[in-house]
């Protein structure tokens, strides 16, 4: 059995050094509190650069394992897909968004995530 370890990419509210989470009245699941949504135009621009085509909506390739959720993105921490890795790195650099490691309950730097991902993705 394998487990997917998720990252949240976005601009989140913090309580000190910790990302705040809250439930809404209509959804019992705790989600990160958004300071401001990701810049969708910047996200589309990076996606367009990666896919080499006009991107009318944010339809990520299924094998990237990236989803949009109410102002932030969710992705697989240990993706082996080089295009997904490149997209995430470019997006974080362009938007200066936070990377929140859900399983570790903390933020991580792009450098640290790339180091883990690249070592994990090697054959």
∠16-43-8 over CA atoms, to 5°? 35
Give the pLDDT score at 4.
73
Query: What percentage of the chain reaches a pLDDT higher than 90?
Result: 54
Whether residue 62 is predicted with pLDDT greater than 50 in this model: the reply is yes
Whether residue 122 is predicted with pLDDT greater than 60 in this model: the reply is no
Average pLDDT over residues 94-117: 92
The Cα-based distances of 26 to 22, 23, 57 in angstroms read 12, 8, 26
- Model confidence at 49, in pLDDT bands (50, 70, 90)? confident
């Amino acid at each position: 059995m394998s487990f997917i370890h998720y990252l949240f990419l976005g601009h989140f509210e913090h309580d000190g050094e910790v990302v705040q989470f809250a439930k809404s009245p209509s959804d019992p699941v705790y989600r990160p509190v958004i300071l401001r949504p990701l810049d969708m135009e910047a996200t589309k621009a990076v996606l367009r650069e990666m896919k080499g085509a006009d991107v009318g909506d944010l339809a990520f390739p299924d094998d990237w394992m990236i989803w949009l959720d109410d102002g932030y993105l969710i992705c697989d921490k240990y993706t082996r897909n080089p295009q997904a890795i490149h997209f995430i790195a470019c997006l974080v650099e362009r938007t200066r968004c936070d990377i929140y490691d859900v399983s570790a309950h903390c933020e991580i730097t792009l450098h640290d995530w790339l180091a883990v991902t690249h070592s994990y993705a090697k054959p």
